[in-house]
Structure 1
Amino acid sequence: MMIENKTPGKSEGQTFSITNRYVELKVISDHHFRKQTHQEHEALAAAGELNEYRLQRRIKGELERIAPDRLFRWCFQSHCLPLSVMVSGVAGVGKTTLVQKFIFDWATGKHYQKFAFVFFFKFREVNEQKMSLESLICQTYPHLRDKLPRVLEDPEKLLFIFDGLDESKTDLKLRRGGSHELCMNPGDVKPVTVIVASLLKQTLLKGCSVLLTSRPSKLTSLEPGVFHRVASIVGFLSKERERYFSMFFGDERVSREAFAYVRDSQVLYTLCYNPSYCWITCTALKPCFIARAGRPQPAPKTVTQLFRMRDTLISVGWLAEYGITDRTLVFQPHHLQVANVVFSPFLTGFLVENPQAEGSSQVTYSFLHLTIQEFFAALVHYLDYKEDKFRDTMAKVRSCKEGDYEIFSCFLAGLSHPATRMPLEKYVGQLKFSAEATHKVIGWLSKTNYEELQSREDPEGKRRLMNILNLLFESRNSQLVRDVVGKDAHMDFSELYLMPVDCTVLAYVLSCCEEIQRLTLDSCFIQNEGLERLRPELHKVRELR
């Protein structure tokens, strides 16, 4: 069973079988993962449609479609039955859900009955701990304590799943020459990442199988060849999105209306390739399409507006902000105390309790999804503006590597527009949105060096330009766009995949400008949907390539 999180005003969440909500995810082979340098938030905006295009054109070529029940079947690329498998995907694309469905199917006898035991751990729950593999298992599965020596006698019947490598604060010790640090026995006390590396390297429980999940950004630091199979989740294609809406709403008429609305909302439809965004969108749209007292709520139009449905507290915002800047996703009770957060049913719409183990009174807390944490981290700067904290956070944003803070920055830009903030005002009571914060955010965006951006010819530079345009799109500030882009601007996106969502952003920027000197779209693989979005604004381009 799965439990959908509680919402404010309800005593408990909705419980349902995973089979009633699970929609098949597209998983493909991806043995060139070390060559992928794109950031995960670039993929957030592009990967769904891009991979749909790639799958349709190349599914019979170098891309191998992998059903979840074939992850440990014969791998043609490594020419072996894999013992170590990496499943990669961007935030919210369904890595954890895929693993949960994998375990569910194993437990119900549908596949992989060669495994007598499947052990599931989350990196975020075992960060920075030193223990033995035996202790790790007993901590999570205390009922196996007396039977553990016998359980570990036959490693070939064991599968270890470690979810969320990107949430680990330390790297896996996989480099050559580091074997002296690895575990040899289940009782060896080491950091958890060393235990995982030992299982992967087969110095511990030789013959066991290991499955890891991670965001793409973590893969480039791993030693090539350590995984027998590397697979990427590309999320929902068009039919899967529609099916998810049907399963979520239940009522066929309502699901059709909601899906049709999202199809018309260009940004939301593209983002719904990501199952987590699909769920957030459906949750936000539910009260809009199911009439209450004959008056459905107005439907949101932008990504930022999706998150206006929740009440918020300043203390929760600062907790979220601390987590974003300190790379903390799981909060201990003392974190809540420092932030003056008192956990209550009111908070269960976005903050959840994570019991540590059966019979234990210890509990940790995490936001329902990282995206919600990033929203509250942005929102708190408007509700409780502190110049020193804002300055420190923006310094980290400016100095971070490409991809970090990107969703946070989108929310920060989006909340600067009065129309986006207006629906939130009735939820925050007497709290007012800081005019100073709005001024600072607009000032930050206005300092964008557009001339430097447009002069870069490398793919990373072109994607960086598109990301900046996306921030301007979220701000919905036409004067700001004109000030940043200028009068003699040119844009070169040649050989960069431009998805429909990119074309939506680009069309908005063009609509704000009087004229663009040159727009280069050579080899951008823009399909009909993207062209339709650009067409009304192309008359403003003097030279189109």
Structure 2
Amino acid sequence: SGHTTLYQTHVKKKYRDLCSREFFTVAHDFFDQKITEEEHDYFEQLFTIKTIKKQSRTVILKGVQGIGKTTMLMKLLLAWSTGSIYQNRFSYVFYFCCREVKQLVSTSLADLISREWPSSPVPTAEILSEPQKLLFLIDSFEVLSCDLTQAESELCSDCMEERPVRVLLSSLLWKKMLPDSSLIVAVTSDNAGSLEEQLENPEVKKLVGFSESNRKLYVRCMFPDRSQGMAAFSFVREKEQLFTMCQIPLLCWVVGTCLKQEMERGKDLADTCRCTTSLYTSFIFNLFTPKGASCPTKESQNQLKGLCSLAAEGMWTGTQMFNKEDLKRNGILDSDIPALLDTKVLRRRESENCYVFLHISIQEFCAALFYLLRSHLDHPHKAVENTTLLLFTFLKREKEHWLFLGCFIFGLLHKQEQEKMDIFFGFQMCQEIKQQLFQCLDAIGESRDLQQEIDQLTLFYCLHEIQDEAFVQQVMAYQREIKLVIKDNVDLIVSAYCLKFCTTLRKLSLSGPQPLQMNSRCMSFKLNCWHQICSVLLTNNVQVLQVKDSKLDESAFIILYNQLKQPKCPLRSLKVNNITFFCESQLFFEVFLSNTNLKRLNLNHTTLSREDVQLLCDVLLHPECNIEKLL
């Protein structure tokens, strides 16, 4: 009938234009809407049969915010419209953005399809006649906060029937509606787990963003001068936090732009971009300072203050999309909007007629800056709370979308960031807010209940940002029991930094696969951090150590072994749970002969070979062994 060709022509025009307007933009020279060979293979393998079980027709595409899920779906849609992929598999591919769908009170699947069709009448009967040849791309699923556990009686099988959006999408995902159709659901990593549990045999794919080679190429492309580009990437490569940020394409642009700004101004990168907060401070302040000027105009200062007020409101209300009324309420006039859009910190979403921050981390930074500029009592929205409540909310991880907010507040109290604020706004923050933060942390130190509620690694990230040794030492003084799940190199750095200030530690629990496998990238760096963590066993009076849920390779084990075997190591109880050894296990058991302080050994969930059991028996029978309790 030619309807597929008509629709593909429409898709090519609509989504190419949409990509040009909305999907970032300043990186056009680097990004191409054409798919690479690698992407082509990735798309083709999304629905391939990998097991003998029934082939899955639902793919969950997960990744952190900004990693490129929407871009990936757009590329897939455009590739299908040009005939590059899925030509014999899918007659129609429809893209539904949950941010837009959320605005509808109720709708039908036929109506959603009609919204995507280029003309009238819509050949709905033909489109739905072969469900096995339909692919639905559902983007930003997390914005619906959708619980898929409703009773089956609530679900709908009729594509023409109007139902609440929640019920409609649940019916599609649960395969009550069009069970033979295929779906790709893009969702943030934090929300993917519950979605995966609720769906039947979904295929889960994780987007990891830029590879190291892409990060290198991207940063270098931003500098006309090759040597400057190489110097900028070398700086990023040495700063693990910045290097990790650059996995996310948008943040790679932020990092590259900031380094370029600072180098053009003749600044020392090691000084002005020493950590995450300092990079964001330099990036934002530079964007609002006219080129060649040493300070901003009064107008620019007020525009940034309005933006910070808007950001704070959004963090407390869980809002990332703002209309003109929201902007006006926070002091942003219509005449300010073009200037804010020029900075690229604020973007306009044409399709939804709203404004969003370039990235959620930019919104979090501006919200943190608000608290150093104004009191929450001055905010026009009642939802915005005080600094103390913000800190407790952040440390308890009560709001999933708060990833860096508390860290930025700590980081902005560093002397160098205060100096930047003095140049930009004409004043430095007094020490009052710093004292306020310490009083909160002091309250945590005096309450065991609060200590149980806070996430210690989150606290460590905050302390790492402030980089004030006296302050960190004060806070760490009350830490007697620490449990850390270390997932990546940055977790490892932050943990090593904070643990060295512990003086009263009695119990330490460490888990996570990444830090204990050293035979990978940055091996010497990781070994050094791991050594700093293990050194706590000798510098503190640690009584209980638990190492769990990890693979312990030889390099990591030797470092731990050298601390444990010391006769002066005060450890009395060692728990090694769900650990796989990639080393000579004999050394592990020798620890109990070298260190006579050890009284308790817990090996729950750690697999022992027959040889291991024999070694353990020999050690327990040895007169030098003082183990009294074995689990």
Match of 1:100 in 2: 74
CA change 1:221–1:444 in 2 (3 A) is same
Query: What SS does structure 2 have at the residue aligned with 1:88?
Result: strand
| Structure 2 CA distance for aligned equivalents of residues 396 and 4 of structure 1 | 36
CA change 1:538–1:204 in 2 (3 A) is closer
- 1:213 CA drift (Å): 1.0
Match of 2:405 in 1: 408
Match of 1:331 in 2: 322
Match of 2:488 in 1: 499
- Structure 2 counterparts to residues 505-520 of structure 1, below 5 A: 505-510=494-499, 512=501
Match of 2:90 in 1: 115
Query: What SS does structure 2 have at the residue aligned with 1:19?
Result: coil
CA change 1:272–1:255 in 2 (3 A) is same
Match of 2:610 in 1: none
| Structure 2 CA distance for aligned equivalents of residues 236 and 173 of structure 1 | 32
Query: What SS does structure 2 have at the residue aligned with 1:337?
Result: helix
- Structure 2 counterparts to residues 299-310 of structure 1, below 5 A: 300-308=273-281, 309-310=283-284
Match of 2:32 in 1: 19
Match of 1:37 in 2: none
Match of 1:318 in 2: 309
Code of the residue aligned with 2:463 in structure 1: it is L
The reply on whether 1:444 has 2:434 as its aligned counterpart is no
- Counterpart contact for 2:445–2:451, Cα < 8 Å: no
- Counterpart contact for 1:87–1:214, Cα < 8 Å: yes
| Structure 1 CA distance for aligned equivalents of residues 199 and 23 of structure 2 | 43
The reply on whether 1:219 has 2:192 as its aligned counterpart is yes
CA change 1:195–1:504 in 2 (3 A) is same
CA change 1:172–1:248 in 2 (3 A) is farther
The reply on whether 1:137 has 2:127 as its aligned counterpart is no
- Counterpart contact for 1:89–1:216, Cα < 8 Å: yes
CA change 1:204–1:503 in 2 (3 A) is closer
CA change 1:77–1:17 in 2 (3 A) is farther
The reply on whether 1:74 has 2:49 as its aligned counterpart is yes
Query: What SS does structure 2 have at the residue aligned with 1:531?
Result: helix
Q: Tell me how many residue pairs correspond in the alignment.
A: 483
Match of 1:347 in 2: 340
Code of the residue aligned with 1:259 in structure 2: it is F
Match of 2:459 in 1: 468
- Structure 2 counterparts to residues 231-250 of structure 1, below 5 A: 231-249=205-223
Q: How high is the sequence identity, in percent, across the aligned residues?
A: 24
- Counterpart contact for 1:285–1:299, Cα < 8 Å: no
CA change 1:509–1:453 in 2 (3 A) is farther
| Structure 1 CA distance for aligned equivalents of residues 440 and 237 of structure 2 | 33
- Counterpart contact for 2:496–2:533, Cα < 8 Å: yes
Q: Which runs of 5+ in 2 are unaligned?
A: 1-15, 289-302, 378-383, 541-562, 565-631
Q: Which moved more, 1:264-273 or 1:221-230?
A: 221-230
Code of the residue aligned with 1:477 in structure 2: it is D
| Structure 2 CA distance for aligned equivalents of residues 135 and 257 of structure 1 | 54
Code of the residue aligned with 1:505 in structure 2: it is V
CA change 1:197–1:539 in 2 (3 A) is closer
CA change 1:263–1:129 in 2 (3 A) is same
CA shift digits 1:379-430 (9 cap, x unpaired): 1111112358315544644665375523111112211223123324444x35
| Structure 2 CA distance for aligned equivalents of residues 182 and 365 of structure 1 | 34
| Structure 2 CA distance for aligned equivalents of residues 249 and 20 of structure 1 | 22
- 1:299 CA drift (Å): 5.0
The reply on whether 1:160 has 2:136 as its aligned counterpart is yes
The reply on whether 1:386 has 2:376 as its aligned counterpart is yes
Query: What SS does structure 2 have at the residue aligned with 1:188?
Result: coil
- 1:511 CA drift (Å): 5.5
| Structure 1 CA distance for aligned equivalents of residues 403 and 212 of structure 2 | 26
| Structure 2 CA distance for aligned equivalents of residues 132 and 89 of structure 1 | 29
| Structure 2 CA distance for aligned equivalents of residues 442 and 220 of structure 1 | 35
CA change 1:13–1:105 in 2 (3 A) is same
Query: What SS does structure 1 have at the residue aligned with 2:274?
Result: coil
- 1:483 CA drift (Å): 0.9
- Counterpart contact for 1:267–1:501, Cα < 8 Å: yes
CA change 1:160–1:488 in 2 (3 A) is closer
Higher relative contact order (CA 8 A, sep 6+): 1
Query: What SS does structure 2 have at the residue aligned with 1:146?
Result: coil
CA change 1:187–1:492 in 2 (3 A) is closer
Aligned Cα root-mean-square deviation (Å): 3.8
- 1:119 CA drift (Å): 1.8
CA change 1:135–1:320 in 2 (3 A) is farther
- 1:451 CA drift (Å): 8.6
Q: Which runs of 5+ in 1 are unaligned?
A: 28-65, 358-362
- Counterpart contact for 1:26–1:234, Cα < 8 Å: no
- Counterpart contact for 2:477–2:504, Cα < 8 Å: no
| Structure 2 CA distance for aligned equivalents of residues 340 and 100 of structure 1 | 35
Code of the residue aligned with 1:197 in structure 2: it is S
| Structure 1 CA distance for aligned equivalents of residues 253 and 37 of structure 2 | 14
Code of the residue aligned with 2:433 in structure 1: it is A
| Structure 2 CA distance for aligned equivalents of residues 465 and 479 of structure 1 | 19
- Counterpart contact for 2:134–2:182, Cα < 8 Å: yes
Which of 1 and 2 has greater Rg? 2
| Structure 1 CA distance for aligned equivalents of residues 38 and 255 of structure 2 | 18
The reply on whether 1:197 has 2:193 as its aligned counterpart is no
| Structure 2 CA distance for aligned equivalents of residues 21 and 260 of structure 1 | 30
- 1:354 CA drift (Å): 1.3
Match of 1:127 in 2: 102
- Counterpart contact for 1:499–1:526, Cα < 8 Å: no
- Counterpart contact for 1:3–1:16, Cα < 8 Å: no
Query: What SS does structure 1 have at the residue aligned with 2:121?
Result: helix
Match of 1:39 in 2: none
The reply on whether 1:186 has 2:176 as its aligned counterpart is no
Query: What SS does structure 2 have at the residue aligned with 1:449?
Result: helix
- 1:474 CA drift (Å): 0.8
- 1:224 CA drift (Å): 3.8
- Counterpart contact for 1:94–1:235, Cα < 8 Å: yes
| Structure 2 CA distance for aligned equivalents of residues 107 and 251 of structure 1 | 38
| Structure 1 CA distance for aligned equivalents of residues 539 and 482 of structure 2 | 12
- Counterpart contact for 2:486–2:510, Cα < 8 Å: no
2:64 aligned residue (67, 90, 104): 90
